[in-house]
């Protein structure tokens, strides 16, 4: 079976972006500081910090106890998102349908691209490397996880290729450390527990009986067990987004009411952009460069698609209150558009019969797209029962 | 629409949980990876004793160190722990 998944890994991507041109920081024990308002855990760590046993996700107190001289670098979520988007677009420019896992880790399917790039995997990888215009590690394997494991062992100009199918992937993974599971969001918490139990390699994990893994680790354990056997879910490539953003340089660091005014201006400018073509906005990203250094970024999905500047400002102003420091630059970008504004009618102003008929049509369409269980309602069957799971059931909407 | 309600469509189905309990009084000490910060309430449920599948559960409402309020129970017949909310 032909190897199909290519994994591109840019180690410590978020740390490198946050450090910017202060590259000397990466030679010292350094780690990303926790994001303001989030749990106090450090982000990616430099190699020198990793030598002290510090890795992304450990509590800040523990990291400082392990290495008192640890330098904390303010995170730059907005810079990371911008830079990462640019790299994804570059990969898409060679025809790759990419599935980004997290900033610094992306996979795409090589099948279908080979003939575009001279028929060989090496040429395809060369094309990807040239497109990226920066150092990256390439791993190729029959599954996403196997390709990721290969990429984490690859060198800058020497890709690691695992040929074959599921069995070859399992054999390749057998000697690799369970620490690789940290690369997947769903299984990131498992390596610590596995290592405590003396399970150091993915081969040892694969050899465990599946029911025992399910009992001890639940859904995350089952996924890790599947991954260790060389199996993984299919790639789900992203739809390349349409980019529309407005930015405002603030002459002096602003906060409070002045910042609300700046937001008002940004919303008006964004809605006035011709590229919007009358569409509503479903999800936007609000970001800011902070006066103290670092950036702040918040992803804001609206409850319903909006084209009304005032309602949009109301929703976004609440998020601006979360800014951890005065901002010197504010940016508002559209992440997803909704339907055109002319399609938006108020549900509450219409007559009951019309409303019910539209609701029935919506239910019908949702069921056609997602199956009979797409629209359900809650029905109390034994509301007074002392056993919680007997009280209510989900039943078809009508 | 006449569709029977299957078992899969019940809400608040118990999910198996990893719980370490005090061997003396059975009080939960950790749920999953989290230590229990406080026990808010505990109660016993005995139900369906009149048919072939009786239920005996010791419920605990606990708050973990991350601030989550959980309702868990110890199945006194099977010995396993479950989280329900």
| pLDDT tens digits, one per residue of A291-303 | 877 788 888 888 8
In whole angstroms, how far apart are CA A146 and each of A149, A258, B46? 5, 51, 49
How many helices (H) and strands (E) chain A has is answered by: 13, 13
> What tens-digit pLDDT sequence spans chain B (85 residues)?
334 433 447 788 899 999 999 988 889 999 988 899 888 899 999 988 888 888 999 999 999 888 889 999 999 999 999 999 8
Chain B, nearest residue to A382 by Cα: B10
Facing residue for B11 by CB, picked from A193, A386, A394: A394
Low-confidence ranges of chain A (pLDDT < 50): 1
pLDDT score of A319: 87
pLDDT score of A346: 60
Interface test with A, best of B1, B3, B10 (most A CBs within 10 A): B10
Residues of B in contact with A188 (CB under 8 A): none
pLDDT score of B75: 93
Contact indicator for A302, A315 with CB cutoff of 8 Å: yes
pLDDT score of A1: 45
Chain B, nearest residue to A215 by Cα: B16
For residue A318, the SS3 value is helix
Tokens of A260: 């609300």
Residues of B in contact with A393 (CB under 8 A): 5, 9-11
End-to-end CA distance of chain B: 30
pLDDT score of B3: 41
Chain B, nearest residue to A381 by Cα: B10
Interface test with B, best of A386, A394, A395, A398 (most B CBs within 10 A): A386
Question: Does A394 lie at the interface with B, CB-CB under 8 angstroms?
Answer: yes
Beta-carbon separation of A392 and B10 below 8 A:
yes
Query: Residue A267: which of A213, A314, A232, A210 has the closest Cα?
Result: A314
A267: Cβ–Cβ under 8 A, 6 or more apart, which residues?
Answer: A309, A312, A313, A316, A332
Give the integer Cα–Cα distance in Å for A373 and A397. Answer: 9
pLDDT score of A2: 56
pLDDT score of A286: 92
Question: Does A381 lie at the interface with B, CB-CB under 8 angstroms?
Answer: yes
ipTM of the complex: 0.80
End-to-end CA distance of chain A: 48
Facing residue for B12 by CB, picked from A218, A389, A396: A389
Buried-state track A175-210, b at ≥16 Cβ within 10 A, e below 16: ebebbbbbbbeebeebbbbbeeeebebbbbbbebee
Beta bridge partners of A392: A380
Chain B, nearest residue to A192 by Cα: B33
Tell me if the pTM is above 0.80.
no
Distance from CA of B24 to the nearest CA of A (A): 23
pLDDT score of B7: 41
Give the integer Cα–Cα distance in Å for B72 and A206. Answer: 30
Question: Does B11 lie at the interface with A, CB-CB under 8 angstroms?
Answer: yes
Tokens of A287: 């970001």
How many helices (H) and strands (E) chain B has is answered by: 0, 7
Beta bridge partners of B30: B20, B35
pLDDT score of B4: 40
């Amino acid at each position: 079976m032909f190897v199909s998944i290519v994994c591109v890994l840019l180690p410590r991507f978020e740390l490198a972006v946050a450090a910017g041109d202060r590259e000397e920081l990466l030679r010292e024990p350094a780690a990303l500081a926790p994001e303001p308002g989030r749990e106090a855990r450090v982000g990616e760590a430099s190699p020198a910090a990793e030598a002290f046993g510090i890795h992304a996700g450990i509590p800040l107190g523990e990291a400082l106890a392990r290495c008192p001289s640890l330098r904390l670098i303010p995170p730059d979520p907005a810079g990371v998102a911008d830079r990462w988007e640019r790299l994804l677009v570059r990969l898409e420019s060679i025809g790759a349908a990419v599935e980004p896992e997290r900033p610094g880790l992306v996979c795409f399917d090589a099948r279908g691209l080979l003939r575009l790039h001279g028929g060989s995997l090496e040429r395809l990888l060369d094309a990807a490397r040239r497109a990226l215009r920066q150092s990256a590690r390439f791993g190729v394997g029959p599954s996403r996880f196997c390709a990721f494991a290969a990429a984490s062992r690859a060198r800058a100009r020497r890709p690691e290729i695992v040929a074959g199918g599921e069995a070859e992937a399992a054999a390749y993974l057998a000697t690799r450390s369970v620490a690789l599971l940290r690369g997947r969001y769903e299984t990131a918490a498992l390596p610590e527990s596995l290592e405590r139990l003396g399970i150091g390699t993915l081969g040892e994990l694969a050899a465990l009986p599946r029911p025992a893994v399910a009992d001890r680790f639940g859904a995350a354990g089952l996924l890790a067990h599947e991954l260790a056997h060389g199996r993984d879910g299919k790639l789900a490539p992203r739809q390349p987004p349409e980019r529309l953003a407005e930015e405002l340089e603030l002459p002096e660091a602003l906060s409070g009411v002045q910042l609300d005014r700046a937001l008002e201006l940004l919303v008006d400018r964004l809605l006035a952009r011709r590229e919007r073509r009358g569409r509503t906005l479903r999800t936007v990203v609000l970001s800011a460069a902070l006066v103290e250094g670092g950036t702040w970024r918040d992803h804001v999905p609206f409850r319903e698609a909006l084209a009304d500047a005032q309602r949009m400002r109301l929703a976004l102003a609440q998020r601006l209150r979360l800014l951890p420091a005065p901002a010197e630059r504010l940016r508002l970008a559209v992440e997803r558009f909704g339907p055109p504004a002319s399609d938006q009618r108020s549900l509450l102003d219409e007559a009951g019969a019309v409303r019910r008929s539209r609701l029935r049509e919506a239910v019908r369409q949702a069921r056609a797209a997602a199956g009979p269980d797409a629209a359900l309602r809650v029905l109390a069957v034994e509301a007074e029962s002392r056993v919680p799971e007997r009280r209510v059931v989900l039943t078809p909407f009508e | 629409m006449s569709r029977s309600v299957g078992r899969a469509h019940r809400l608040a189905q118990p999910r198996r949980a990893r719980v370490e309990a005090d061997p003396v009084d059975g009080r939960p000490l950790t749920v999953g990876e989290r230590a229990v910060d406080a026990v808010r309430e505990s109660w016993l449920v005995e139900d369906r004793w009149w048919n072939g599948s009786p239920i005996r559960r010791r419920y605990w409402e606990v708050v973990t160190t991350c601030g989550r309020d959980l309702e868990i129970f110890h199945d006194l017949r099977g010995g396993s722990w479950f989280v329900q909310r």
